[in-house]
Amino acid sequence: MSFQAILLPLFVEVILTFVLWGWMVFGRRQAFVTRAVHPRDIALGEQKWPPRVAQISNSFRNQFELPVLFYVLTILEMITRHADWIFLVLAWVFVLTRVVHAFIHVTSNAVMQRGTVYGIGGLVLIVMWVIFMLRILLLLP
């Protein structure tokens, strides 16, 4: 399997993270410009951002939870040359859940829907890790 095929889902996740980051930066800047928040209000990390800015910031921050394990696994799959079509399909399912989760997070923010999608992504990632661990520990191809 080509490195490009293996890395493409990872690249989509990275792009999602950067899009959310840019949106968050723009929103925070606007909050300062419109004086909706003063620098002293957030200097020590207090969550005094306007709700919309906090919503986008939370979605951005969320990209450093489960996706970190996805990044590590992708790199390990490449190094050990265990990435196959099963990995690729599960990687795309995981990334799709991340995109849907972020979309829900920055739009309706429906917690139950968001939680369900987050849970599905987490389960997919667990399956990916279990497959990888079994292949490594049992020396399977």
pLDDT at 113 > cutoff 90: yes
Q: How many whole angstroms separate alpha carbon 103 and alpha carbon 42? A: 26
Average pLDDT over residues 6-18: 98
CA distance 117 to 104: 9
pLDDT tens-place string over residues 53-101: 999 999 999 999 999 999 999 999 999 999 999 999 999 999 999 999 9
* pLDDT of 47 strictly over 90: no
pLDDT for position 60: 97
Q: Which of 58, 49, 51, 67 is nearest to 21 (CA)?
A: 58
* Prediction pTM value: 0.94
Which pLDDT value is given to residue 37? 93
Q: Which of 65, 58, 40 is nearest to 109 (CA)?
A: 58
Domain boundaries, the chain: 3-18+61-137
pLDDT value, residue 89? 98
